[in-house]
Amino acid sequence: MRQAIGWGLLVALASPLYAGPLAADTLYRFIDEDGTVHFSNVPSDPRYVAVRKLRTRVVATRRWGPRNITAYDDIIRDHAVDHGLPAALVKAVIAAESNFDPRARSPKGAQGLMQLMPQTAAYLGVHDAYSVEQNVRGGSRYLAEMLDRFGGDWKRALAAYNAGPEAVDRYQGIPPYRETQEYVRRVMSYYRRYHEEFAR
């Protein structure tokens, strides 16, 4: 019987790039038709069943990308243009939010490539947050709204995308949350990387 470990669990257990304190999480498992046992702390298949709690670390930086990170470039470009956004910025948010996994789901319930919360998705008219087309359309619209709200300030808009616009209003800038501050830095780093790709 073979064993397969999900990407999120593998990084949490094996990566030397740790940041933040230990956090409780749940280990899930399922056995596929070939007899392979799959483990993950981010269940992306309805066959996953909770096995036990485990201790993981929050990873601040991801170095392992999907096989083809350009797979959604045309969709990203179309919706970025529709909402007056640089395509590289939308792609950078996707990289930071889901690492290009359209089935990603956070412990808090955020879904899809741009990690839309259900109430935000409903507000944006996204009926299926796991649809690449709908998710990128809705996420691009929301990012554009945050940029409008914060006068085109990219860093405040990104902080609002991560922590909510109320938090940015409350602190009159990027909130003093380690996660949000790291998120803004990470998105800007991804943006610089992807800018040249879309400029070609």
Which residue's structure tokens are 């740790």?
A: 18
Taking alpha carbons only, the member of 143, 142, 123, 125 closest to residue 134 is 125
Active site residues: 97
Q: For residue 31, give the H/E element and its range.
A: strand 18-31
Residues 22, 37: Cα–Cα separation, whole Å: 26
Sign (positive or negative) of CA dihedral 141, 92, 60, 44:
positive
Cα 9 to Cα 31, 58, 109, 184, distances in angstroms: 17, 11, 18, 24
Contact 28, 50 (CB under 8 A): yes
Residues 51, 39: Cα–Cα separation, whole Å: 9
